[in-house]
Chain A
Amino acid sequence: MTYLSIENVGISFTRSGRTNEVLRDVSVKIDKGEFVSLIGHSGCGKSTVLNIVAGLLKASTGGVLLEDKEVNSPGPDRAVVFQNHSLLPWLTVRENVALAVDKVFKGKKSRAERSAWIDHNLSLVNMTHAADRRPSEISGGMKQRVGIARALAMEPKVLLLDEPFGALDALTRAHLQDSLMDIHARLKNAVIMITHDVDEAVLLSDRIVMMTNGPSATVGEILRVDLERPRRRLDLVEDATYTHARAEVLEFLYARHAKPAIAA
């Protein structure tokens, strides 16, 4: 049974009388516990797909089914980790996670259980030591960890990651990718991650959805990455499957669907 199904999703925006079709006929089916990446050139509508799944945007055509039920408004069952972390700066790290936990589990967990659950999720991303600091007092990588903790704490059916590591330096990014793989191995959430980093996509994903360029962008190709888990980045450097998958994605992005030079 398909867990999450994006079915023939299309979206158009109308601005000053001109209609601009951003997505057409995007269909992806995702299984429980599967890690799927969306990759494509910037401006191709990757984030739009994610926002439609999150319910933050309404599809013009088609729809999204989660466990065979249509979803068309945002909710904690599809938690989002935003690119720029979007932590609330006036709350401490712990309070940011607590805001989500207290809202989602009000009435389902006791106060003590909620508090323990907050601590658990902070320790999951190794942020217990900075629980009482404010977002302005921690590094970019730490903020992103807290964003992930906040999303995980909602116990989402699907975790949506919108270029979660895009704004981080390479070393921090690698470190967080490892943490994410580790967390995914433990929790087995279905994950959709947007990225434009080919290595990141191949390393983390079970399948990579490659999108064509806009306007009217759609799914160009879906690549299955048959690498055993747990994956270790050092072992993969010379792994044939890895290099092959990487080459395929690069070929798709830079040979067949190279970005037109005008739209830089």
Chain B
Amino acid sequence: MANTSTIAAARTVAVAAKPKRAPLVTLATLNTIAKNLIPPVVVLIAFLVIWELLCSRPGAGLPPPSRVVTEAWDIIAHPFYDNGGTDKGLFWHISASIQRVALGFALATVVGILTGTLIGQSEWAMRGLDPIFQVLRTIPPLAWLPLSLAAFRDGQPSAIFVIFITSIWPIIINTAVGIRNIPQDYRNVSAVLRLNPLEFFSKIMLPSAAPYIFTGLRIGVGLSWLAIVAAEMLIGGVGIGFFIWDAWNSSHISEIIVALVYVGIIGFILDRFVAFVGTLVTRGTATA
């Protein structure tokens, strides 16, 4: 008798506890989501409202967000259209820009890591190259454009070169620091094993310097994206930079604003992408 009553009591407790516990968990998750989501949404709405208010006055220089959406609805709704020439949807402009960045950045990655390794490994190379690099890296990306146009006589390779030369410096410098910071222990291990220089490079240097290299790559990809828009404004052709310049020349201010939103989001994605690859590659390395 006593037994059954305890079981019954236990059952009621369980029944009572069950529906209580389930929503508690979802509430907590909702809570964390809300915590992360509400502030940016609120700020964004506030920003749009202020913008709307400021730019709705007659004689305002820039269109309010409501007008941006109505005026530029064509390019927002149809990013994939292609009427030939430079009359294409935003998707095509952006993918052209990304292709240039990918090519220039890939070149910069390879050359930057190799040069950085050389500087990190050899005191002589460091002394010789470092002062030159310190001067070269302060040159603004666009200042290279006339020179590369003169050398390549074509817009496409010139733009890629500008990306290359913009993003290579942080890659070189960070790689060199990473290589210089390889613990002596790892060098000893490779000495005892008699690893040849190629094995040492691939099995010790690269993984050990990877966290530094990825810091450089992340800065580099950000700089490339900054440079590509400016470079494309000057060289023309298909590309988001040209699109913005073309919109300005046709006084389509709303289209410029839409394009800027795209540029910002793509830049953010590029940065996160490199960071993501970095965490994949350097897993384990950071925690020795």
Contacts and interface: CB of A to CB of B under 8 A. Distances in A.
Contacts of B283: 90
B21 interface: no
Contacts of A88: 186, 189, 203-204, 207-208
A62 B199 CA distance: 32
Interface in B265-288: 282-285, 287-288
Interface string A123-143: 000000000001110000000
Interface class of chain A by DSSP: loop
Nearest to B207: A90
Given A86-B185, A90-B207, A103-B199, A79 B284 contact: no
Interface in B178-226: 183, 185-186, 188-189, 191-195, 199, 203-204, 207-208, 210
Contact of A86 (B188, B194, B287): B188
A84 B246 CA distance: 62
A82 B185 contact: yes
A84 B185 contact: yes
A250 interface: no
A74 interface: yes
A54 B185 CA distance: 13
B257 to A, nearest CB: 45
B288 A103 contact: no
Interface in B63-112: none
A113 B204 CA distance: 25
A80 B192 contact: yes
A interface residue count range (under 10 / 10 to 19 / 20 to 34 / 35 or more): 20 to 34
B188 A103 contact: no
Contact of B193 (A55, A89, A91, A100): A100
Contact of A74 (B185, B194, B207, B282): B194
A76 interface: yes
Nearest to A100: B193
Contacts of A89: 284-285, 287-288
A99 B288 contact: no
B285 to A, nearest CB: 5
Interface in A50-108: 54-56, 73-76, 78-80, 82, 84, 86, 88-91, 99-100, 103-104
Contacts of A134: 284
Contacts of A80: 188, 192
A90 B192 contact: no
B276 to A, nearest CB: 17
A125 B160 CA distance: 54
A86 B208 CA distance: 12
Contact of B192 (A79, A91, A135, A136): A79
B194 A76 contact: yes
Interface of A: 54-56, 73-76, 78-80, 82, 84, 86, 88-91, 99-100, 103-104, 134-136, 154
7 contacts: A56-B191, A74-B191, A82-B185, A88-B186, A90-B208, A90-B283, A90-B285
Given A75-B194, A84-B185, 10 more contacts: A54-B188, A73-B191, A76-B193, A86-B185, A88-B186, A90-B282, A90-B283, A99-B193, A135-B284, A154-B192
Interface of B: 183, 185-186, 188-189, 191-195, 199, 203-204, 207-208, 210, 282-285, 287-288
